[in-house]
Structure 1
Amino acid sequence: MKNIKNYILKIVFLLSVTININAGILTHEFRTEEFGNIEKTDKDIVILMHGIYSKLDNLEYIEKKLEENGYSGVNIQYPTTKDEIQDIAKKYIEPEIEKKIKILNEINKKRVSENKKKLKINFIVHSMGSVVLRYQLQENTFEELGKVVFLSPPSHGSSMAGNFFTELLSPYLGKAIKQINVQKDSFVNHLKEPDYNCYVMVGNRANNPLYSVITDGESDGAVPVKSAKLENCKFKIIDGESHSSILKSDKVMQEILKYFKE
C-alpha cells in the first residue's frame, strides 16, 4: 500500500513539474536589484543569490530586513536552466562581484583616510546559489570577502537532483540540476570545503509530500539536513522551517544580523 501511494505521489510530482515547465515558471532572465545606499554605507555590502528556478523576489523579505538594518547591496537574479554552474558563475555572478569590489575600494579609500575600519562584501545565498558561490569563491578569491550565509544548501547534493524524473525532464530542467546530485562523483561533491567565514542554516520541515517522497531522512523538503553541513562553517538547524519558508523567517534574520555583527 505504501509503495502504491509513493508511486502515485511521484506521478503527481512529475505532472506538476511538467505543468510548471510548460507555463515557463522555471525560467527567469538575468536582472539585478540594488537596495540601500551603497555609496554612503557604513556597513558591509551584501550580495544576495537565489536558488534553482527561483528569482530575486524570493529573497525580497531578507532584502527588506537588511535595508531596515542599514545594509545595502544587490540582489542578483540569474537564469538557472540555460547553463552549467561554472558558466552561471562566470556570466552572471563574477561581473557583479567585480562591480561591487570596485565601489567598495573607493569607499574604503575614504574610510582609511578617516581612520575607519575597512568594509567587506558579505553574501546570503539560497539552495543551488550556494553551489554557484562556492565554485566562484574557489576559483576567484578576493581580499574584500567578508562573511557568507548558506541557506538550505545542497552542500553534498540533493536527492531532488538525481532521480528518474530529473533525468527524464533534463532537457527542460537544465544542466545545473544534474550537477548537484548526491553521487560522490557529482560536481558539487568535487568542490573544496570553504576556507572562509561561513554559516550554514537549514530547516527540518518537509511540508511538501511530493518532494518528501524522493528525499531520504530528515530534510527541509528538498535538501537532507545531513547533506547541508560543511566543514569549517558554523551550522544551525532552524526548527520548523522548510526549504522555502526559511527565506521569510524572523529567526533566520535574527541569526544573520547577529552573525554579521560578530
Structure 2
Amino acid sequence: MKWISVILLPLLLSVSGCSKPESEQVVTFNSSATDEQVIIIHGLGRSSWSMKTMSELIEERGYQVCVVDYPTIRQSLDHTLDSSTQEIERCLAKLASNPEQSTNRQKVHFVGHSLGGLVIRSYLASHPRLVNSDKMGEVVFVGTPNQGSDVADFFARSWLLSTLGETAESLTTHNDSFPNQLPQPNYDFGVIAGTASYPLFNGLFDEPNDGLVSVNSTKLTGMKDFALVDRKHDRLRRDPHVTELIVNYISTGTFASHSLKEM
C-alpha cells in the first residue's frame, strides 16, 4: 500500500494544487453596479488566483466579488480557520464601507470550492448574527467533502498525508474529522457535485465521485437544491457551466433545470 501511495501522491498534489506555492494573503475586491456581494473561497493548496475564472464570470453578471486567500498547506487547522475568518471579515468590511452600496437590498452570498465550503460552514456556525440578518444571502458548496474524503482516508494510512499538514489530515471521513464535527447549516444552501473521476483514483471509491470527493459526501441534510455535473474535482472551480449554475442559484434559489430529483 505504501508504494501505491507514493505513486498516487504526485497526482493528488497536482489536482489539489498542493504542488504550487500558496500566494500571500490578498483579498481581491471588484466593485460593480449591484449591491449584492459574492464571497468566494478556494480549496486545499490553492490561492485566490485559482478562482479567477469563476470570480470574473460572476462579476460579469453584475455582482461584487471578493475572493478570499488563506493558507492551507503545512498549517494547523486552527491557523487555517483563523486566517480565513480574518479575510472573510475583510470582505464584509469592504461591502459595509462602500457608500454606494448602502441600501437595504444588500446581500452577501458565499461560494466555496472543496475545503472552501467547510471554511464557510465553520465561519457561519460561529457568526449567527450574520446568518440571522437581512444581509444573509445564498450559499453554494461546490465539490465540498461535507462527510470527508475517501482519498484523504487512503493517504492517512501512511505518513504521506501528514506531510501536507494538519488541515489536510483533518479531511478524512472519520467521525471525529473536521467536516464531521461541523454543525448542520441553518441557512439556505445548494450543493454541486462532480461525477467525472481521475482514472488512478477510481479504485479508492465504491460510488460516483469527482476524483477526490464522492457524490454522497457532498450531500447535507436540508440542502435547498442539488446538481450533478460531469466534471472532475479541479475542473469544478473553473468551468463556465458550473459558474452559471452558481449564478442561477444565487439569483433564484435554484440550479434551474437541475433539481433534488437527481439525488
Q: For this structure pair, what is the TM-score category when the shorter chain's length is used for normalisation?
A: 0.7 to 0.9
Report the residue type matching 1:96 in the other structure. Answer: E
Cα pair distance change 1:108/1:51, threshold 3 Å = same
* Cα distance, 1:154 vs structure 2: 0.1
Q: Do the aligned partners of 2:155 and 2:161 also contact (CA within 8 Å) in 1?
A: no
* Cα distance, 1:104 vs structure 2: 2.9
How do 1:95-174 and structure 2 match up within 5 A?
Answer: 95-107=86-98, 111-112=102-103, 117-141=104-128, 142=130, 143=133, 144-164=135-155, 167-174=158-165
1:30 corresponds to: 24
Q: Do the aligned partners of 2:18 and 2:46 also contact (CA within 8 Å) in 1?
A: no
- Using structure 1 for the length normalisation, give the TM-score: 0.83
1:211 corresponds to: 201
Bigger radius of gyration among the two: 1
- Using structure 2 for the length normalisation, give the TM-score: 0.82
Residues 1:241 and 2:228 aligned together: no
Q: Name structure 1 gaps, 5 residues minimum.
A: 1-5
The count of corresponding residues between Structure 1 and Structure 2 is: 248
1:190 corresponds to: 181
Q: Name structure 2 gaps, 5 residues minimum.
A: 253-263
What is the CA deviation profile of residues 178-209 of structure 1, one whole-angstrom value per residue up to 9, with x for unaligned ones? 21111122221111111112111011110x22
Report the residue type matching 1:131 in the other structure. Answer: L
2:74 corresponds to: 82
Report the residue type matching 1:13 in the other structure. Answer: L
* Cα distance, 1:109 vs structure 2: 9.0
* Cα distance, 1:232 vs structure 2: 1.6
Following the alignment from structure 1 to structure 2, what is the Cα–Cα distance between the partners of residues 29 and 196? 31
Identity across aligned pairs (percent)?
25
1:3 corresponds to: none
* Cα distance, 1:107 vs structure 2: 4.6
2:65 corresponds to: 73
Report the residue type matching 2:188 in the other structure. Answer: N
* Cα distance, 1:42 vs structure 2: 1.9
Q: Do the aligned partners of 2:22 and 2:46 also contact (CA within 8 Å) in 1?
A: yes
What is the CA deviation profile of residues 188-238 of structure 1, one whole-angstrom value per residue up to 9, with x for unaligned ones? 1111111112111011110x2222232331101110101110112234333
Q: Secondary structure at the match of 2:78?
A: helix
Aligned equivalent of 1:13, options 8, 20, 23: 8
Cα pair distance change 1:216/1:55, threshold 3 Å = farther
2:255 corresponds to: none
Q: Secondary structure at the match of 1:31?
A: coil
* Cα distance, 1:58 vs structure 2: 2.0
How do 1:244-255 and structure 2 match up within 5 A?
Answer: 244-255=234-245
Q: Which segment drifts farther, 103-112 or 222-231? A: 103-112
Following the alignment from structure 1 to structure 2, what is the Cα–Cα distance between the partners of residues 19 and 198? 29
Following the alignment from structure 1 to structure 2, what is the Cα–Cα distance between the partners of residues 164 and 96? 30
